[in-house]
Structure 1
Amino acid sequence: MMKTQLQLLLLVLSVGLMGCSDSDSDRDTSPDDTITEPPVEEFSYDATLTRTEYGVPHIVAEDWGSLGYGHGYVFAEDNYCMLMEEIIRASGQSLEFFGEAGGSESTDFVFSLVNNNSDGQLEERYLSQQPQYILDLVAGYAAGYNRYLRETGVDNLPETDPDCRGADWVREINAVDLWKYFRRIQLQGSTDQGIVRAAILDAKGPGQAGASAMPAPVSAADLQRAFANADKGSNAIALGRDATQTGSGMLLGNPHQPWFGVGSWYQVHLTIPGEYDAMGAALKGFPKIAIGFNKDMAWTHTVSFASRFTLFELKLNPDDPLQYQVDGEFKDIVPEEVTIKVAMPDGSFEERTHTFYHWEYGLIVSLASTAGGIAPEFASLFDGWPTPQGTVYALRDANLENLRGIEMWVNVGKSSTVGEFADALKVIGNPLFHSLAADRNGDAFYGEISAIPNVTEKKMEECIVGINAVVRSLTNNAILALDGTRSDCQWGADADAPQDSGLFGFASLPSFFTTEYAANSNDSYWLSNPEQPLEGFPTTMGFIGHEGQQQNLRTQITHEMVGQRLEGTDGFDASPGFTLSSLQQLMYANRVFAADLTLDDVLTVCTETAWPEIFPPPGGKRACDVLSQWDRLANIDSRGTQVFTEFWKAISAGGAAFENAVTDQSLWFEDFDPTRALETPKGFDLSLEVNRERILSALTTAANALDAANVAFDAPWGEVQVLLRNGIDVPIHGGDGGMGVFGAISSGLSDGGYRTIGGGNSYIQTVTWDESDCPIADAIITTSQSINPESPYYSDQSELYSRKEWVRMPFCDDAIEANRITEPLQLRE
């Protein structure tokens, strides 16, 4: 290692200087005298770890393996059990170790198949794609993670949630374990969706029915939501020189990720001098920065609801149900049996076996349950092997063989301009995100550069026919089933796409560079800048909020707030254009956009309703009284946010697939207009008595929900929405993204309030530059760094977030030294 070689050189020089000193001139010597050099210890891993305020680790190493080693070790200090549990799940062993109560049969079967490495398949097919330095990085991470376990011991692990102290499922891991975990994350928007796993397991084999029970009815919106991975979201704003007061670029990253477990964040700074230097947040258990910044560029992502898979209807050989026809020739369907272990309540184990069926590009599925839920009258057309049409359905997943993401994100972190950032994305390793970036030169970038099946609108029109065209329409493009009998209906092949992937390449995907701004809040690429809309792309690139479709309320408020700041009319700053301060004020404004659009109409209905003279007043009347005094914000001192939250859930029930958008145009006074997509719809149409009744019903539903949960209608929001930390309620501002709160928090109502937060504002960063070499970055991680209740980093940043404060991220050496809270720790193995 470089440091070891330097130490040896200094030792040799010091010995040489001693030999030339005057004090040696009188020393008795003989020809046989020799100087014996002490042995120099060689280290496979050698990293330096320093923590700054709030537990942010800075890791410096001379090579990639050592960088991963330091990262894996410090992550384990803060979050050991979380990753250990997820590795068990990604290995298909959840029922074996957690039993029926904590495990998932569908997950175990699918990932026992997908991540099977008994014959080295994972290494041969997927890890062989990786450059050596990425393999070193991941192996080092596993080694550092294991070192923490060896030093601590399984019986001394901190008691956390999840808790693995003394558990028999704790073990040392290897790099393949991590790659299995990465692979499961890559499949979140496709094969690992619950509804997709169910369709895979419902394919029972020749002669068998697919639906094991009568499916529960679901709306097209429900189904679209399930396929869209719609429990995740995000906001992002990338500003160019024409949108800032300084002329430098500026970026806001605001991913709405889970607060716990898979998909949650860990702040870290990773450095190999002269080669890589990036800071920001890594998904827990990942060895690279996913959202962050470096000396010259900052980037972020938002979840995209583009298609991540398609189905194909395969025509079976009438003489052999394990063959299907393509271009007049038969190909084989190959069965594969998988066995999992299940822990029983009495301590014994049972084995369960399932047979999967492979076609050329993936697995056979059954649509019987899915179709029956949407349209029971069509269910029989999809049941059985074969179906009444003599067919079966097959799945092709865009991310099944995509493990390009680790290298891609490392190259993103090396980029010094948004042009280089865009180049890094061209490997199409991004599984399901829009990408936005800004740089110190004042350039910004937006791109939907991710793994999307290469299925054009023309191909859909030609290859989705018959009952499959009906399914496409009923699911608003969420389910696409193409004709599998024709090879020309298979995914296309762009010259700049990964070889044999069937994905769109960079040149075919929506993107733009700008010196003004780009923003995305989970609708499609269409209006990422309304002054330069991206148009003419297929629905596969974004079936929610696609071109000409109604946009969600966060999209609308994002562009409204950016427009007001560019005009200087938002009250943050008299001068137009963004500063870091005004960008942060926008982030924490907590406006409830649905209230801006509709509350005046609701209050009109309230005042014009003849409420009965009883005491206590009806719930709807009490809800009206509180809403009339509410500030229309989701701040911790706002009184009435809970009333509007429950009202909006009720009024939008059964609406759009994502974020409770009200798509029923009969309710709106001004209907959605594609030519004014960011300004419509608005207002409730009170000329229709049915709408007045609907508003009153929603108010009553809201009141009943709050009464049942023992929540006072006028309690401060910060007493109602909280994060429990060591017996203390930390007030949490922000609110339901479905009602147009930019700072989205996902929390369900339960007894006492919104006390179980699932996700939302997670790692937030605001970044810009001045004439110095050091980026100016303020960030916050809403959950804090550690899951250990005994750690000083368990609730410290959560409390800062509650107070709308930020952590200045020390990037350069002098800032790290000024803010460090630990002595540098040399980690060697």
Structure 2
Amino acid sequence: MTSRSPINSRGPRSSALDTVDTLSAYNLITTSLAPCGWILRRVHGILPVEENDNDNDKDAPSMRTLHRITVAAILGLAITACSDSSDRSPGAPVEPPVEPPVEPTLSAQIRRTEYGIPHIKADDWASLGYGYGYAYSQDNFCVTMREVALASGRWAEFTGEDIDRDFLSRYINGTKEEFTADFFNKLPQRDQELITGYAAGMARYLNETGVDNLPEGENGCRGEPWVFSPDRIDLMMYLRKIALQASTDQGIVRGAILAVKGPDALQMANIDSMEVRPGLKRDLAAMGREIRPSEVGSNAIALGSDATQNGGGLLLGNPHQPWNGSGRWYEAHLTIPGEYDAAGASLQGLPWIAIGFTRDVAWTHTVDYATRFTLYEVPLNPDDPMQYEYDGEWRDIVTTTVSAQQLLEDGTVETQEHTFYSTQYGLVLDLGGVNPAIGGWPTFAGTLMTMRDANLDTGLRSLRQWVEKAQATNMEEYRQALRHIGNPVFHEFAADRNGGMFYGQISAVPHVDQAKLDQCLTGIGALVAGATTNAFIGLDGSRSACEWGEDADSPEGSNLFGLSSHPQILGTGTAGNSNNSYWLTDVTRPLEGFPVVFGWMGHEGNQQFLRTRITHSMIADRLAGGDELSETPLFDQETLKTLMYSNRVHGAELVLDDVLQICDEYLNNPEADPANAPALADTCEVLSNWDRRVNVDSRGAQVFTEFWAGIRDTYGSPYQNVVVSDEFWAVDFDPANPIGTPAGIDLTVQANRDLVIEKLLQANQRLTDAGVALGAPWGEVQFLERNNERVPIHGGAGTMGVFGAISASLQEGGYKNPRAGNSYIQVVTWDESECPIADTILTHSQSVQPDSDYYADQTRLYADKRWVRFPFCEDEIQAAQIGETLVLEE
């Protein structure tokens, strides 16, 4: 039985860890068993070596590396052979061999500070991953285990469900052996080691805990058939899957890929004879909304020396991520002395710090709605439906059949197959599920739709980029780390201790410049692009001139825009973004002249989100000292923290005075319907007394929330984030004043007055039906349930202009258990000391396990608008440490 103490823990050697460096093993045998030279030569002869595929990579070894093999096996072979050696005289007693101590190949130190934050220190990358994987698993193992199982292509084998997802996973990744050769082995050695160690840490936690002792409940996995001991390939498949969430693995795209049935039953959609044409634009617009993930967003503000009171850098990171599942954040601090020292947060199961800070630099992201893939429309050969035209020649469509196992109701497992079709661009899609007019093989135009995904290989570059960002000491070094284009979907923001700041829309974007887009956007592709405001774009696939291009600094073989072509700001001023495009990141110096593929959401000259507008309004007011945060202009850490929690509702600031005027005039109109008067009077009285914020003690926020949702239902854009109308606004949108417009309600239009009364009454009815009092404090209406405790949650819907966005739907009893929103928040700066000054909060808390001390502790802090001072330097860690240090070895 293995013993384990808090100070030193060496667990059983699992299959994931039952290895040591072969050279070390050989040296050990040589020393211990020198008399048995003949067997040593034989042992040496069986030690395999492999060529390093990364000889040109600075992170990879420059010489051939030895495989790791089991020490016990080698020793067993040598000792067995030597037991009959002629060096031993006949009849002499056999002394039991003394096995020398085996040095651990993985060793990590884990210390936890307040609120369950693990600080992992190790001397190498594999050990760092090992410690992190183990510490993370103690809090949230089942969350990532479920995602690993889903990504493995075996979900239907375990559960009998969703075999289509398995088919796609198996097509993208191949077998584990194929994935290892085609993907994992192409990673830099450092990345391989970190991932291998992390998987080993997860495996160790599972081996020690046992499937039947894992956490239970909604986020648990006790006794689940999909729990297995993950290895590095399982984990890497999951990490690759994350990069594809906005493209191939995005719901509507995945559905269109799996809907393709091939040409056996030829069906050409006759768009002129079908009764679907009138709904085509509507359905395409709905498809465009699908490509925008509804549960993610973010705010970021990066401030350089020109904007701060002390002349140093200052950064706010405020991602709006899901509060459940793999999109949750997890806080940690990872250190390899002299090589890597980063703190902050990772998404579940990621073995690196994704948003965080170091001694010199802090960084964050906001979700960036640039183009991640392009559709290509290819003409089919009328004489052969398995050929398409390219530059006047016919090319064959490739078929690939994959198999997956499916668990049946009787407990047996059956093999199922699915055939995928692909062109030189990638997989063929059938958009008939969006609207039958654009489906079929071929479409009404005699074509097929196929796609190319910019993120298929991003996973090869992601870890390298994030590690190098954390090794940067200033903004130019940070910027250079982005040359890998390993970021799948985010705007980049950073600041440093010397007063530098950086912004870059530097993510994976297909190299389609505006000239190419203008020339190649034809046919169904043009129809789709127009209806989705360029969320989907389709190019002419019959011409090589419409292929993606490249820059001199594009990642090799990627056909992505290189670092130098992306919108970016490097300086000492300000930058802010709340999920619109790059255009107004610095409103005093708009970034202009970039193709629409860099950001179709809020592109140049287009109306901006209310959340974008309040972000820049608050920045401008603070720089001028014109707000209530401080009499002194410019920012410091406290004013930025206060801004984060200000909870203003910008939509109310723009229209509520007009709403109350309309309400008052209606109630005083003798011709108004008296049946509406009581409910309307109550509704408007609550709104008139409301402080126009979403603090926990604000009364009436629920009324405006439902009212504004009703306005958006009528006048919302196809993406439900801005209200677009030629009649509603008193001041229409003006591209020359994008932060100040549109504004006010046009009171001269009777339809606007009628709409306001209708939506006020509708809000009253919705709240009444849900059992929510109109004037109840917001914290009693919006809350998170934790172990029969209701924790108040401040913040509100970003669509009504709340900077601190919270996504929660009205249900019986209120806005219970938000889905997403403010998640991991950090405000980071520096002073003359070596240590960064980081105040953070994890709104949903660290652990998903109800019996954990870290299940709701930070949520309560958030309710009170408090922060956690994140300990970074050694003396800070020692002062905040809880429990004993764990040294984990294998």
Q: Tell me if both proteins adopt one fold, taking TM over 0.5 as the criterion.
A: yes
- One-letter amino acid matched to 1:808: R
Q: Choose 524-533 or 223-232, whichever is displaced more.
A: 223-232
SS at match of 2:203: helix
Alpha-carbon distance in structure 1 between the residues aligned to 2:524 and 2:417: 33
1:241 lines up with 2:293 in the alignment: no
1:677 lines up with 2:738 in the alignment: yes
SS at match of 2:817: strand
Cα displacement (A) at 1:63:
0.1
Alpha-carbon distance in structure 2 between the residues aligned to 1:813 and 1:709: 51
SS at match of 1:114: helix
- Contact 1:73 1:144 survives alignment (8 Å): yes
1:552 lines up with 2:609 in the alignment: yes
- Contact 1:659 1:739 survives alignment (8 Å): no
1:791 to 852, 856, 860: 852
Equivalent residues in 2 for 1:127-138, closer than 5 Å: 127-138=184-195
Alpha-carbon distance in structure 1 between the residues aligned to 2:298 and 2:720: 12
Alpha-carbon distance in structure 1 between the residues aligned to 2:705 and 2:627: 24
Match of residue 5 from structure 2: none
Residues 608-665 of structure 1, C-alpha deviations (whole Å, 9 max, x = no match) = 1137786895544322121111110000001111111111111011512445310123
- One-letter amino acid matched to 2:183: Y
Q: Choose 361-370 or 61-70, whichever is displaced more.
A: 361-370
Q: Choose 804-813 or 311-320, whichever is displaced more.
A: 311-320
1:300 lines up with 2:357 in the alignment: no
Alpha-carbon distance in structure 2 between the residues aligned to 1:289 and 1:37: 43
**Aligned CA distance change for structure 1 residues 214 and 175 (closer, same or farther; 3 Å):** farther
2:777 to 716, 737, 741: 716
Equivalent residues in 2 for 1:17-28, closer than 5 Å: none
2:587 to 526, 530, 546: 530
Match of residue 115 from structure 1: 173
Equivalent residues in 2 for 1:610-649, closer than 5 Å: 610=667, 618-649=678-709
**Aligned CA distance change for structure 1 residues 392 and 618 (closer, same or farther; 3 Å):** farther
Cα displacement (A) at 1:793:
0.6
Residues 325-379 of structure 1, C-alpha deviations (whole Å, 9 max, x = no match) = 2112222211112333444455455554321102113100112232x2xxxxxx5
Match of residue 390 from structure 1: 446
Match of residue 56 from structure 1: 117
1:406 lines up with 2:470 in the alignment: no
SS at match of 1:714: coil
- Contact 1:779 1:808 survives alignment (8 Å): yes
- One-letter amino acid matched to 2:624: E
Residues 557-613 of structure 1, C-alpha deviations (whole Å, 9 max, x = no match) = 000001111111211111001110000000000000000001111111110113778
- Contact 2:361 2:494 survives alignment (8 Å): yes
Equivalent residues in 2 for 1:7-156, closer than 5 Å: 39-100=100-161, 104-118=162-176, 120-156=177-213
- One-letter amino acid matched to 1:542: G
- Contact 1:303 1:433 survives alignment (8 Å): yes
Cα displacement (A) at 1:38:
9.8
1:362 lines up with 2:426 in the alignment: yes
- Contact 1:81 1:160 survives alignment (8 Å): no
- Contact 2:295 2:821 survives alignment (8 Å): no
Residues 480-536 of structure 1, C-alpha deviations (whole Å, 9 max, x = no match) = 111111111010111111112111111111001121111110000000001111100
Equivalent residues in 2 for 1:311-710, closer than 5 Å: 311-345=375-409, 347-349=411-413, 351-370=415-434, 372=435, 379-380=436-437, 382-403=438-459, 404-610=461-667, 618-653=678-713, 655-658=716-719, 660-710=721-771
**Aligned CA distance change for structure 1 residues 707 and 96 (closer, same or farther; 3 Å):** farther
SS at match of 1:748: coil
Alpha-carbon distance in structure 1 between the residues aligned to 2:283 and 2:394: 37
Residues 49-82 of structure 1, C-alpha deviations (whole Å, 9 max, x = no match) = 0000000000000000000000000000000111
Equivalent residues in 2 for 1:763-802, closer than 5 Å: 763-802=824-863
- Contact 1:279 1:289 survives alignment (8 Å): yes
Residues 536-555 of structure 1, C-alpha deviations (whole Å, 9 max, x = no match) = 00110000100000000111
Alpha-carbon distance in structure 1 between the residues aligned to 2:817 and 2:341: 36
SS at match of 1:86: helix
Q: Choose 587-596 or 407-416, whichever is displaced more.
A: 407-416
1:821 to 882, 887, 890: 882
**Aligned CA distance change for structure 1 residues 81 and 208 (closer, same or farther; 3 Å):** farther
Residues 19-63 of structure 1, C-alpha deviations (whole Å, 9 max, x = no match) = xxxxxxxxxxxxxxxxx9994431110000000000000000000
Cα displacement (A) at 1:194:
1.1
Match of residue 41 from structure 2: none
SS at match of 1:675: coil
Alpha-carbon distance in structure 2 between the residues aligned to 1:97 and 1:548: 50
Cα displacement (A) at 1:105:
4.6
**Aligned CA distance change for structure 1 residues 174 and 208 (closer, same or farther; 3 Å):** farther
Match of residue 182 from structure 1: 239
Unaligned runs of at least 5 residues, structure 1: 6-35, 373-378
- One-letter amino acid matched to 2:690: W
**Aligned CA distance change for structure 1 residues 658 and 818 (closer, same or farther; 3 Å):** farther
1:253 lines up with 2:253 in the alignment: no
- Contact 2:399 2:420 survives alignment (8 Å): yes
- Contact 1:433 1:448 survives alignment (8 Å): yes
- One-letter amino acid matched to 1:110: L
Residues 801-827 of structure 1, C-alpha deviations (whole Å, 9 max, x = no match) = 111100000000000000000221100
- One-letter amino acid matched to 1:367: L
Alpha-carbon distance in structure 2 between the residues aligned to 1:244 and 1:741: 24
Alpha-carbon distance in structure 2 between the residues aligned to 1:162 and 1:214: 46
**Aligned CA distance change for structure 1 residues 675 and 128 (closer, same or farther; 3 Å):** same
Alpha-carbon distance in structure 2 between the residues aligned to 1:642 and 1:99: 42
SS at match of 1:604: helix
Paired residues, what number? 785
TM-score between the two structures when normalised by the length of structure 1: 0.92
SS at match of 1:437: strand
Match of residue 15 from structure 1: none
SS at match of 2:627: coil
- CA RMSD across the alignment: 2.2
- One-letter amino acid matched to 1:111: S
SS at match of 1:697: helix
Residues 288-331 of structure 1, C-alpha deviations (whole Å, 9 max, x = no match) = 00000000000000000001000001122223222222112222
Alpha-carbon distance in structure 2 between the residues aligned to 1:220 and 1:575: 50
SS at match of 1:336: strand
- One-letter amino acid matched to 2:693: L
Alpha-carbon distance in structure 2 between the residues aligned to 1:251 and 1:90: 35
Alpha-carbon distance in structure 1 between the residues aligned to 2:250 and 2:117: 33
Match of residue 17 from structure 1: none
Alpha-carbon distance in structure 1 between the residues aligned to 2:98 and 2:575: 61
**Aligned CA distance change for structure 1 residues 784 and 609 (closer, same or farther; 3 Å):** same
**Aligned CA distance change for structure 1 residues 787 and 209 (closer, same or farther; 3 Å):** farther
- Contact 1:311 1:393 survives alignment (8 Å): yes
Residues 132-173 of structure 1, C-alpha deviations (whole Å, 9 max, x = no match) = 111000000000111111111111112243221122221100
Q: Choose 40-49 or 740-749, whichever is displaced more.
A: 40-49
- Contact 2:712 2:720 survives alignment (8 Å): no
Alpha-carbon distance in structure 1 between the residues aligned to 2:311 and 2:452: 46
SS at match of 1:794: coil
Alpha-carbon distance in structure 2 between the residues aligned to 1:354 and 1:713: 54
Cα displacement (A) at 1:220:
5.2
